[in-house]
Copies of this chain bind each other. A is one copy, B any other.
Amino acid sequence: MLDICLLGTGGMLPLPYRALTSLMVRYNGSNILIDCGEGTQNQIRLQGWSFKPIDVICITHFHADHISGLPGLLLTMGNAERTEPLTMIGPKGLEKVVNSLRIIAPDLPFDIKFIELEEAYKELNICGLRLQAFKVNHKVTCYGYSLILDRAGKFDVNRAKALGLPVQYWGMLQKGESVTYEGKEYNSSQVMGASRKGLKVTYCTDTRPMDIIIKQAEDADLFICEGMYGEDDKLENAKENKHMTMMEAAGLAMKANPKELWLTHYSPATARPQEFEDKIREIFPRTVMSKDRRTIELKFED
């Protein structure tokens, strides 16, 4: 199960009633945070989720609305008595930016391990998940992220029995390990069916539309995407500032076919994103005009 909370839905600057866009995913005791603007720690607190298990923080890019809350969050994680190392993932220059911000948070009781992205695409294994980082098209280097929880095939009891392998070895095969028994080697493919559909969340803000985004969001369980502007006449604005309109985001979703599209990163000038809901759902019916702290538990099918 992936436990998802879109902590905030604002872009550019924090508003009293709309926090800056960031996402928290909980899986198997680990919390993964994507982006951390000013106020993100308050949203985590409002949600009642914990600071201590934040094992990974991914940053899309170094504009203040996506990272200005970091020094405060790091201090709060320290106050929550975290001592295990934290992994940070982001564009090239991440370590320099974070250390520069840490002039006001120099003493932390945990180490930070930095992974700087340089390729257009990179897959990493974090916290038992696959993280796919993909470069998008903003004014500065910016990445989108997909988090994927794979699901193994079904264990076939009859095949395991037919192998004549004692039951105490079955669990190892189920975990994908190999087993040697009475001089003979057994591997998991002998007892496991084809891998089943897992879970996928794709998060993408601050970019013009791109094919890689469609590819990433393809058949995702959840596609979280910026919808900076809702008005038709803001397209030029979006192009100039390298953002996306809600219509463009819905257009990507139409091609990628995720189970749900959650719009986020609204312009501060957009007081009521809901006004555009009908129009956007004509393009992609399963669109949600997210509000702060929208949550979902993604579960395996069946």
Contacts and interface: CB of A to CB of B under 8 A. Distances in A.
What DSSP secondary structure best describes chain A's contact surface?
helix
A259 B105 CA distance: 37
A62 B75 CA distance: 14
A187 B112 CA distance: 66
Interface in A80-130: 96-97, 100-101, 103-105
A92 to B, nearest CB: 14
Interface string A45-81: 1100000000000000011110111011001100100
A273 to B, nearest CB: 19
A142 B63 CA distance: 30
Contacts of A76: 13
Indicate the member of A38, A39, A62, A68 with the most B CB atoms within 10 Å: A38
B15 A62 contact: no
Contacts of A103: 62, 96-97, 100-101
A216 interface: no
A251 interface: no
A41 interface: yes
Contacts of A105: 64
A104 B42 contact: no
Interface of A: 12-16, 37-39, 41-42, 45-46, 62-65, 67-69, 71-72, 75-76, 79, 96-97, 100-101, 103-105
Given A63-B104, A68-B71, A97-B103, 4 more contacts: A13-B76, A62-B103, A64-B72, A101-B104
Given A41-B13, A100-B100, A71 B75 contact: no
Nearest to A51: B13
A271 to B, nearest CB: 13
